[in-house]
């Protein structure tokens, strides 16, 4: 859609939202960068920093099993944050308001992020494809632990039973949770408007889930070109928080 000005693009997105009955939002790291969480693939992201091992190696299942202490040193430094300092931004809050307005009934937010900010903002239906740093579980007895159990520990975090506490995040070489996939597919297939935001659409199998969309319109909000642009009715290159705030406030 050949719309150039910011206001025109926001109004077009608002009109799409107004006419939609079920909206699903599919998002990635770019949704949380405005909260201060770095994007993996940006110039300043994890993929462009120097370590003894590449981040994708450290964040793999095999590395976790064989070099667990090194995994946690990296994980605490680069993947965790202080919830008292990192807060949901305007994009997270706008999506929560959109759900509260009844526009996401039976759909919700499908996210590749593990930061839990959509839930913190008030969204109730959130399909976390790659898990969450806020959920942690003992590999031996299954006991659940909060973020603080890992963040405030040293070395390898241990359960009271002696087992290793593992974050409920999907590492490289691991499969996505089947129940989460089913929920996300169900949400995407039910929607009549798909909003894709803050994602390069290069991480699979997550990005492949939008193939289940059977609705009428697609809007993309991302600073760079994505693989979904060619199928989109509206492509917006402005900051996602500003765009969603503007569209939802005037809805």
Q: Are 194 and 213 in contact (CB under 8 A)?
A: yes
**Active-site residue, 61 included:** no
The residue annotated as part of the active site, out of 61, 92, 118, 130, is 130
Q: How far apart are CA 177 and CA 182, in angstroms?
A: 9
Could you give the angle at the alpha carbon of 201 between the alpha carbons of 199 and 202, nearest 5°? 120
Structure tokens of 209?
């889930």
**Residue recorded with tokens 């405030």:** 152
Q: List, as own/partner pairs, every contact residues 156-159 make where C-beta atoms lie below 8 angstroms and the sequence separation is at least 24, other chains included.
A: 156/68, 156/69, 156/72, 157/72
Q: CA-CA distances (angstroms) from residue 38 to 25, 33, 41, 113?
A: 20, 5, 9, 11
Sheet holding 144-145, edge to edge: 144-145, 131-138, 165-169
Host H or E run for residue 193: strand 193-197
The residues that bridge with 169 in the sheet, in sequence order, are: 131
217-221 and 234-236: which strand pairing? Answer: parallel
Report the catalytic residues: 130
């Amino acid at each position: 859609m050949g719309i150039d000005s910011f206001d025109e693009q926001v109004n077009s997105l608002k009109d799409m939202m107004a006419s939609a009955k079920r909206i699903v939002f599919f998002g990635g790291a770019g949704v949380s960068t405005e909260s201060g969480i770095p994007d993996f693939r940006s110039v300043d992201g994890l993929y462009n920093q120097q370590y003894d091992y590449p981040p994708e190696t450290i964040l793999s299942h095999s590395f976790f099993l064989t070099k667990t202490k090194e995994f946690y040193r990296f994980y605490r430094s680069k993947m965790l944050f202080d919830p008292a300092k990192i807060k949901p931004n305007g994009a997270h809050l706008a999506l929560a308001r959109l759900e509260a307005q009844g526009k996401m009934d039976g759909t919700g937010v499908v996210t590749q992020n593990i930061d839990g900010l959509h839930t913190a903002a008030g969204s109730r239906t959130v399909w976390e494809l790659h898990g969450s740093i806020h959920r942690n579980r003992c590999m031996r007895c299954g006991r659940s632990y909060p973020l603080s159990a890992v963040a405030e520990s040293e070395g390898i975090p241990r359960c009271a039973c002696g087992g290793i506490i593992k974050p409920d995040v999907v590492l490289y070489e691991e499969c996505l949770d089947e129940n989460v996939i089913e929920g996300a597919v169900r949400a995407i297939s039910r929607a009549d408007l798909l909003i894709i935001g803050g994602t390069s659409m290069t991480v699979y199998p997550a990005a492949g889930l939008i193939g289940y969309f059977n609705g009428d319109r697609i809007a993309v909000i991302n600073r760079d070109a994505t693989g979904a642009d060619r199928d989109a009715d509206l492509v917006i290159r402005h900051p996602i928080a500003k765009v969603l705030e503007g569209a939802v406030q005037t809805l």
